[in-house]
Amino acid sequence: MDLPPAIQCEGITKRYPHFQLRNVDLSFEQGAVMGLVGPNGAGKSTILRMVMGLLGPDAGSVKVLGYSMPEEQIAAKRDIGFIAEDMRLYESETIAFHMDFIKSIFDTWDDGYADTLLRRFDLNKKQKVKGLSHGQRVKATLLLALARRPNLLVFDEPTTGLDPAVRREVLDEMMNALEDETRSILFSSHNTLDVEQISDYITFIYGGRVIESRNKEDFIDGWRRLRLTNMDEKPLPNLPNIKEVQRSGRLCTVTVNDYEESFPRLFPAAGLVVNAIEPLTLEEIFLVAVKSAKANASMELAQ
Amino acid sequence: MESGFVFSQTDKNPMYQQIMEQIKQRIAVGDWPPNTPLPSVREMAIEIKVSVITVKRAYLELGREGVIVTQQGKGSWVNDTLDLKMLQRDELIQHLVQAGKLAKFLAIPEEKMLQMLKQYME
């Protein structure tokens, strides 16, 4: 069985007056989850809109489940469920109205699954949209996207603004959707915990560029924090993978990327003692990576 | 099989290690005797709501340690030649290595360390 990749973006570029998406490559196989992380305005939503065919790139190519976007978007959209923050529902209509509406468009709609989701989400389908809380609205849009069983789910910030209990429900249902071995998810989030928990691949975006894109285990495993004692105030070895240095008297903390087992040995050779080597959470990596990307960007400007 | 895993957000170990730990505990207390089939990687991922790749890594490392056996197309099960005592011994050694490092850092002499150890074994 040779399935086309869930997503395959090559060299996509898009110019706006105040923002540019530059040479973005993204790709992952079906059956997997990719999380996009990056600060506000990094370009995550622009990428998701291109994947959906809502925007065409100035250069490069976008393929989704083997379909070229935006040219084949009509065929592709049968297989894609999209949820964005600014998704509009009809305020004066009920959840049931929306369910019937989607069902009339997509013959893949699964009544049984829709009922299960109503129960799990604690939603009353007779309720009108205007009376729903933010959490209920998100769950209703998720239900509408899931119950037609698309092959690919594309979610822009699905957990933003949700309380911990609803956030959990949404994440649980995203994971449950993977029961189908070829179903894939591409989502963006500011919540690094969510991305760390459910993603198989992590793509880090900054300033319209992909800083890093790889499988989550390698991504997280590539980073370490080393706690050092510098008794004789020796200079640190000058290494390109040191992304952050914090000094306090004789104590020094270094955060590194592209970590290898042999790395700590470089410090005793330079007269420093390694006291501890710690893994980082995605949140900690995010903060260091943004800082370091910012520094690189301002260096480029200065040149 | 429901695994009933409970994870901790305050545990500093990476998630794949927490999964390994939970599986080992179930084996150690006898809930998962030798030859017990494990859920498939995807089943486990969906049940505990953790990415497929993380569960895959946990299974891979457990296979490397000889705790479980994985065969392509057949799935994974608890190793029947698994020596639990050996497993726990390995863990003890890990702790001793850490203790040794820390003692060296704190400049605690060998005799003092042995004395302390003796105290805690009583």
Dist CA A171 CA A165 (whole Å):
10
> Which residues in chain A touch residue B45, judged by CB atoms under 8 angstroms apart?
175, 178
- Helices A111-120, A134-146: inter-axial angle, 10-degree rounding: 160
Position B30 scores a pLDDT of: 84
> Which residues in chain B touch residue A178, judged by CB atoms under 8 angstroms apart?
42, 45-46, 52
Q: Between chains, do B52 and A200 touch, taking CB under 8 Å as contact?
A: yes
- The pLDDT tens digits along chain B (122 residues) read 567 788 887 777 889 999 999 998 888 888 899 999 999 999 999 999 999 999 999 999 999 988 999 998 899 999 988 777 777 787 788 889 888 888 887 888 999 999 999 998 88
Q: Give chain A's residues under pLDDT 70.
A: 1, 301, 303
Position A145 scores a pLDDT of: 94
Percentage of residues of chain A with pLDDT beyond 90: 78
- Per-residue b or e along A119-147, where b marks 16 or more CB atoms closer than 10 Å to that residue's CB: eebebebeeebeebeebbebbbbbbbbbb
Dist CA B69 CA B77 (whole Å):
6
Where helices occur in chain A by DSSP H, the ranges are 44-51, 73-77, 95-105, 111-120, 134-146, 164-176, 192-198, 216-221, 266-269, 282-302
Rounded alpha-carbon distances, angstroms, from residue B91 to A97, A219, B98: 58, 27, 11
Specify the residue for token string 């790139």.
Answer: A57
Angle at A12 between CA A282 and CA A42, to 5 degrees: 40
Residue A46, token pair as written in the block: 């622009």
Q: Between chains, do B105 and A275 touch, taking CB under 8 Å as contact?
A: yes
Nearest partner of A255 among A284, A275, A217, judged by Cα? A284
Position B73 scores a pLDDT of: 86
Can you state the percent helix, strand and coil of chain A, rounding each to 5? 35, 30, 35
ipTM: 0.88
Rounded alpha-carbon distances, angstroms, from residue B101 to A254, B43, B96: 20, 40, 9
SS3 A152: strand
Residue among A32, A179, A221 whose CB faces B46 most closely: A179
Any A CB within 8 A of B15 CB: yes
> Which residues in chain A touch residue B42, judged by CB atoms under 8 angstroms apart?
178-179, 181
Position A71 scores a pLDDT of: 92
Dist CA B54 CA B57 (whole Å):
5
Q: Between chains, do B42 and A181 touch, taking CB under 8 Å as contact?
A: yes
Position B7 scores a pLDDT of: 82
Any B CB within 8 A of A29 CB: no
Q: How far does B51 lie from chain A, in Å, by closest CA?
A: 4
Position A303 scores a pLDDT of: 64
CB A260 within 8 A of CB A266: no
Position B2 scores a pLDDT of: 65
Dist CA A8 CA A5 (whole Å):
6
Those residues with Cβ within 8 angstroms of residue A205's Cβ, 6 or more apart along the chain or in another chain? A24, A36, A37, A38, A42, A43, A44, A47, A211
Position A81 scores a pLDDT of: 93
